[in-house]
Amino acid sequence: MTRNGSMTGPSYITPGDSPKIAVLWMVFGSLSFGSMNALVKWTSLHADVWMIIMIRSAVIASAVAVFATSQGISLRVVDKRTMLLRCVVGLTAMILYFTALGRIPIGQAVTLQYTAPLFVALLSGRVISERVEPTVVILVATAFAGIVLIVSPDLSSVNPDALLALGSGFFAAMAYMYVRELRNTDSVSSVVFWFAAFSVAGSMLQALPDIFDLDWRTLAALVGIGVGAGGGQVGITMAYHRANAAWVSAFSYLTVLVATFYGFTLFNETLGISDWIGGVLIVGSGVALVIIAPSGEAES
């Protein structure tokens, strides 16, 4: 393995495409992320957002550090400015999202957070100078009609807590674009580790005074959030390794279904008709967006 984490030499055989295996990995990733969302929802009754972020991020940073050390992968940052921007907008997205999860139904929060790919499509022309096709603009407009139905179902008042989830989607989109820039300079392990480490540092001051007041159930749930987030990342990464990225990306929206199921079964949450219609418009537009992605983009 090279210092940036890529495999070389005869000992490594690139896995062949296998759509069935890719879907299984994506299902695993969606279950992991959905479980993480449910744990965040439950834990928000017993710990604040800062504690959730700190322990979740500490679990991930520790796991990546151990893996990188065992494999000889360098965690050195090459593009420090872009890495810092990625960490700032990523932490902002996480604060908004975890806050929203504690206040609105899980299915609603996850659906709005999954607007991130749509924001990427809308903003990429300005931020990273990539061409935005007219079809993409139409899909984004359709998705935003769905957003309106969720955030303001009666078209007269706005749910401020839903706006938190929508804001997390926007900042997550910014994070994705900075990650895209970093792919030419920094390893995946480096990006994941430093975002987690930055999030620990950014939440430590607020979280540490209360850490000794945690009971064992809450602490176990907090660790579980980190494990769920890590499992989700592994599942999605493995899925992308075994099938066309544009095709398999559509299955990432399974997380919305998993999260909604948890909301119904564990928290007795119900969604209104406007939430369902809005969700279909958002998810449908997102799936169509990844399916029509250019082949070169899809394999990047």
Residues whose CB falls within 8 Å of the CB of residue 124, separated by 6 or more in sequence, listed in order: 130, 132, 177
> Roughly what angle, to the nearest 10 degrees, separates helices 116-127 and 160-182?
50
pLDDT at position 169 over 60: yes
Q: What's the distance, CA 298 to chain centroid? A: 18
Spatial distance between the Cα atoms of 78 and 81, rounded to a whole number of angstroms: 9
Using the structure block, give the residue that is written with the tokens 């022309």: 125
Predicted local distance difference test score (pLDDT) of residue 297: 41
Q: Read off the pTM.
A: 0.78
Spatial distance between the Cα atoms of 87 and 106, rounded to a whole number of angstroms: 25
Query: What integer is the mean pLDDT of 42-56?
Result: 94
Comparison of pLDDT for 30 and 122, the residue scoring more: 30
Q: Is residue 2 part of a domain?
A: no
Q: Is residue 9 part of a domain?
A: no
What the block records as the tokens of 264 is 């119904």
Asked if residue 183 lies in contact with residue 75, where contact means CB atoms within 8 angstroms, the answer is: no
User: Number of helices and strands (H, E) in the chain?
Assistant: 13, 0
Q: List, for residues 234-293, the tens digit of each pLDDT value.
A: 887 677 666 655 556 667 778 888 888 888 888 888 878 888 888 888 878 777 766 665
Spatial distance between the Cα atoms of 217 and 176, rounded to a whole number of angstroms: 33
Q: Is residue 10 part of a domain?
A: no
Number of domains forming the structure of the chain: 1
- CA torsion sign, 56 to 57 to 61 to 62? negative
Residues whose CB falls within 8 Å of the CB of residue 117, separated by 6 or more in sequence, listed in order: 173, 176, 249, 286, 289, 290
Q: Is 94 helix (H, G, I), strand (E, B) or coil?
A: helix
Q: Is residue 14 part of a domain?
A: no
Spatial distance between the Cα atoms of 140 and 281, rounded to a whole number of angstroms: 10
Predicted local distance difference test score (pLDDT) of residue 298: 37
Q: Is residue 235 part of a domain?
A: yes
Q: Is residue 252 part of a domain?
A: yes
Q: Is residue 59 part of a domain?
A: yes
Spatial distance between the Cα atoms of 192 and 183, rounded to a whole number of angstroms: 12
- CA torsion sign, 68 to 72 to 75 to 79? negative
Q: What are phi and psi of 56, to 5 degrees?
A: -55, -50
Asked if residue 25 lies in contact with residue 239, where contact means CB atoms within 8 angstroms, the answer is: yes
Using the structure block, give the residue that is written with the tokens 């390794």: 241
Spatial distance between the Cα atoms of 299 and 290, rounded to a whole number of angstroms: 12
Spatial distance between the Cα atoms of 293 and 130, rounded to a whole number of angstroms: 12
Asked if residue 232 lies in contact with residue 113, where contact means CB atoms within 8 angstroms, the answer is: no
pLDDT at position 125 over 70: no
Q: Is residue 186 part of a domain?
A: yes
pLDDT at position 77 over 70: yes
Q: How far is CA 161 from CA 41, 150, 152, 232, 248, in A?
A: 14, 11, 11, 25, 31
Q: Is 47 helix (H, G, I), strand (E, B) or coil?
A: coil
Q: Does an H or E element contain 266, and which? A: helix 254-267
Comparison of pLDDT for 296 and 106, the residue scoring more: 106
Predicted local distance difference test score (pLDDT) of residue 155: 55
Predicted local distance difference test score (pLDDT) of residue 146: 80
Domain that holds residue 44: 19-298
